[in-house]
Structure formats: structure tokens, C-alpha cells
Amino acid sequence: MKIFRHYGDVPESCKGAVVTIGNFDGVHLGHQALIAHARDLAKGLGAPLAVLAFEPHPQEFFHHDTECFRLTPLRTKARLLAEQGIDVMYALPFDAEMAQRSAEEFVRGILVEGLGVRGVVVGADFRFGKARTGDSRLLAELGRALGFATEIVRTIVARDAQKISSSEIRAALKTGRPQDAAKLLGHWWMVEARVEHGERRGRELGFPTANMPLVGYLKPAFGIYAVRATITENEKPVGVHDGVANLGIRPMFESPTPLLEAFLFDFSGDLYGKHLAVELIAYLRPEMKFDTIDALKAQMAKDSEAARAALDRAGARC
């Protein structure tokens, strides 16, 4: 998948695509349904398949002082989109100039003149342009006038008729329900980062951990999780391990910033500097402060057994 950060830098070979537009935070089942419709349209037109998303997320631009809410930073989002078979990603900057573009200016200047789109696929609740004044109906009208196909996809719901939205997924993660989040995502939610050097407390306790910062992600419920971790080198997976992780501030040691600390079962080796993708499979318990180190070590052993059992129950299911 090719990624472009400005519509003025796109070569002719990457124009003329069928584009689906959205934030794609999480690349959840609703997003995947949009992509499937766009894929069919692109195949029919013999056009490349593309997505258009904004970086930063528009909410980050307008409310930059709020706590991070992102399910997927750009790197993770791009990888998930590539797995959906996207040919081109237009990750356009959302700035003051973009925020001031009218709906018609966005369509004419970016979609038509900049990207030369042959088709656009959006959800029924799609809004765009300055103050979100444009909607899917206006997009369809402009498409007819300017010569590109438009497809409006109805709202996608889960099997239990629950609306699939990034907001619902965030709520599930914030309340310690990673399985519920996965049902809406269509995949396990994960944290991806390079492993950092820590204080080596886990090693001293007999549970050496891979320490990862929670930069660019929302903060799920703090506590102990059953996890599955994929180790990558040179952008390729080189190993997958079950494990148990502490996500939070470690009340025994009072970490200044939240961390994800993962202990990988049946792993020996050096993870420092390697890229790790840790999936949250099951929430086991909240963080706790213990009276003694021995009590903490005993609980960590119990947590490891509980994580193994939870992972056996989960299998590969979302």
C-alpha cells in the first residue's frame, strides 16, 4: 500500500481511484464494510482502491488539549488498512486551511482536481466541509455534476443490532471489556510500540516484562490482562507469544506515566528495541497495591495461570 500525506504529491499512477472517506479509527467492522463496497465498485471500474483519512484526527485538531482517544495511531491504522487490500492511502493533514474548506471546495479541489477520483464510497451519516455542512446527499449531487460515481452505505450494525462505532469500542475498552471491543472491531485491539528499557523490576521479581509506552492511544481500563504479542523485525512477524500484562501505573511502584508491561510465556531472549504488537484478549483484574513483594510475586503467578486459562478459552476468536 502506498501512502501520501498531501494530495498535491500524488502521481498520476495513484490517481483515478475509488476512494472511501472517513477517520477509520480502529478499522472496525463498519469501516471494513465500507471498504468492501468500495472494493466492488473499484473492481467494476477497473480502478485502484483507496482510502482518504485525516492526520491528525479532526477531533485532535479542534480539541488538542483533551486526553488521547485514538484506537489506532497512523502506523497501526495503515497496517490494518493494508491488510484490507487497500492500494493507496491518502493520509491528508487536517489543519486550519483544511478546516476552512467548504464542502464544495473539498470535493472540487481535493477529490476531483487533486485526486481525480472515479468513485467515492461513504457512510450514510458522512459529514464534511467547514462546520460539517456537507452530507452524503450533497456529495452524491456533486458527484453527478462532476463526473464521479457515489455510493452511500447504510449504517452497519453488529449481530445484536448494536451500532458499530469507534465510540462504542472506546467505551468497551475503558470499562475493561476487550472481548466486546473485539466483536465490533473484527480483530483484537492492540498496542504497538518499540520495547523500552525499564527499571527491570519484573526481571527482579522473576517475571521479565517488555515495557511499552501508551503514546498515541486511548487509555483502557487499568489492570491485568491476558494478552497475545506479535514480535516484528523489518516489518515482518517473527514470533507470536501468549502472555500476561499489567496496563497502568503499577501502584506498588507508582509509575509517573501509564505503561503496558507484558510478560511473554515460554519466551527467552532480548526484546529491547524490537517492535511489539500486544493484543488485549481478556481483562483479569484491576491494579492492586500489595503489602509485601512476596505477596505481589504470589499474585503474579496466579495472574499468569489465569491468563493462560483465559487465552485457552478465547482461542483465536474475536
Report all structural domains of the chain as residue ranges with CATH numbers, in order of start: 2-153 (3.40.50.620), 168-314 (2.40.30.30)
Distance CA 201, CA 5 (A): 41
pLDDT band at 235 (very low <50, low <70, confident <90, very high): confident
pLDDT at 254: 64
pLDDT at 161: 59
Q: Which residues pair with 119 in a beta bridge?
A: 18, 149
Query: Residue 286, by phi and psi: left (phi above 0), alpha (psi -120 to 50) or beta?
Result: beta
pLDDT band at 316 (very low <50, low <70, confident <90, very high): low
Q: What values do phi and psi take at 244, rounded to 5?
A: -135, 145
Which amino acid does the sequence have at 281? I
Query: Residue 315, by phi and psi: left (phi above 0), alpha (psi -120 to 50) or beta?
Result: left
- pTM, two decimals, is 0.90
Model pLDDT for residues 274-312, shown as the tens digit of each residue? 899 999 999 999 998 888 888 888 989 999 999 999 999
pLDDT at 284: 98
Model pLDDT for residues 130-144, shown as the tens digit of each residue? 999 999 999 999 999
Closest CA to 189 of 82, 283, 286: 283
pLDDT band at 181 (very low <50, low <70, confident <90, very high): very high
